[in-house]
């Protein structure tokens, strides 16, 4: 599957799309990147005057790349327009702040994928290769009811 096609199938668009590029994907994991635009609305009030990216946005970025994109790849032709993607659990440790204009890379390694549930070990690194957050994410891809 073409990497651009995976991103096109995501149910997110600007300003809530946190995937700029998918670098690699296979049956065991995925690697992708995103640069946080300094004009994103949440920076106006999150640590006013010294903005940093909220942890919930870092989790969302890891989930979009590390779960949703990987899940779409794993399902391939079974992924339809009626699919619903839902985050089901998180266990994330935050290690360093992420600032506006910073590019991060997400590395996700599949732990298991069965019955529509995907669980992954996910790491986000900054441009210097330092881990900024890491942990476990799980989600489900199901058909709309």
Cβ neighbours for 4, distance < 8 A, ≥ 6 positions apart: 22
144 vs 19: CA distance, rounded Å: 24
94 vs 126: CA distance, rounded Å: 13
145 vs 134: CA distance, rounded Å: 33
Catalytic residues: 46
């Amino acid at each position: 599957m073409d990497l651009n096609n995976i991103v096109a199938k995501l149910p997110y668009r600007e300003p809530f799309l946190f995937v700029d590029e998918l670098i690699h994907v296979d049956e065991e994991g995925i690697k992708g990147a995103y640069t946080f635009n300094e004009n994103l609305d949440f920076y106006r009030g999150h640590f006013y005057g010294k903005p940093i990216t909220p942890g919930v946005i870092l989790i969302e970025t890891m989930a979009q790349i590390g779960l949703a994109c990987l899940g779409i790849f794993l399902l391939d032709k079974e992924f339809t327009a009626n699919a619903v993607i839902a985050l089901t659990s998180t266990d994330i440790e935050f290690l360093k702040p992420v600032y506006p204009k910073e590019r991060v890379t997400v590395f996700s390694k599949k732990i298991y994928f069965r019955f529509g549930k995907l669980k992954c070990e996910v790491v986000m690194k900054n441009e210097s290769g330092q881990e900024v957050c890491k942990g476990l994410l799980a989600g489900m891809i199901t058909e709309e009811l």
